[in-house]
Amino acid sequence: MTVSHSRHRRALAIPVGMALATTVAFLPNVTASAAEPVAAPAAAPAADGPPLSYVVNVSSGKGASAQVKKAIAKAGGTIVQAYDQIGVIVVHSANTGFAETIRKAPGVRSAGATRTAPLPAQSTTDVGTPKVLTAEDVADVEAKAGQDPLQPLQWDLPAIKADRAHEKSLGSSKVTVAVIDTGVDDTHPDIAPNFDRQASVNCVTGKPDTSDGAWRPSAAESPHGTHVAGEIAAAKNGVGMTGVAPGVKVSGIKVSTTAGFFYTEAVVCGFVWAAEHGVDVTNNSYYTDPWYFNCKNDPDQKALVEAITRASKYAEKKGAVNVAAAGNENYDLAADEITDPSSPNDSTPGDRVVDPSECYDIPTQLPGIVTVASTGAKGIKSSFSNHGRGVVDIAAPGGDSTRYQTPAPPATSGLILGTLPGGRWGYMAGTSMASPHVAGVAALIKSTHPWAPPAVVKALLYAQADAVPCTDPYDIDGDGKVDAVCEGPKNYNGFYGWGMTDALDAVTR
pLDDT score of 78 more than 60: yes
User: 69 forms bridges with which residues in the sheet?
Assistant: none
Q: Which of 457, 428, 321, 431 is nearest to 374 (CA)?
A: 431
Within-domain flag for 509: no
pLDDT for the residue numbered 17:
37
Confidence band, pLDDT 50/70/90 cuts, at residue 402: very high
Within-domain flag for 396: yes
d(CA 500, CA 367): 21
Within-domain flag for 166: yes
Within-domain flag for 189: yes
HSE-up (13 A, CA, CB side) for residue 309: 16
Q: Which of 83, 79, 80, 63 is nearest to 71 (CA)?
A: 79
pLDDT tens per residue, range 203-245: 999 999 999 999 999 999 999 999 999 999 999 999 999 999 9
Within-domain flag for 366: yes
Residues 6+ apart with CB under 8 A from 296: 302, 305, 358, 359, 360
H or E element, residue 448 = helix 431-448
Q: Worst-scoring range by mean pLDDT, 17-21, 261-265, 412-416, 460-464?
A: 17-21
H or E element, residue 54 = strand 52-58
What domain count does the chain have? 1
Mean pLDDT over each residue of the chain, to the nearest integer:
88
Within-domain flag for 99: no
Most confident of 34-43, 126-135, 357-366: 357-366
Give the CATH number for residue 368: 3.40.50.200
Kindly write down the DSSP assignment for every residue of 251-318, as one continuous string.
EEEE-B-TTS-B-HHHHHHHHHHHHHTT-SEEEE-S--SS-SSEETTSHHHHHHHHHHHHHHHHHHHT
Within-domain flag for 174: yes
Domain of residue 326, residue span: 11-30+127-504
d(CA 453, CA 446): 9
Within-domain flag for 108: no
Burial 68-83 (b: 16+ CB within 10 A, else e): bbebbbbbbbbbbbbb
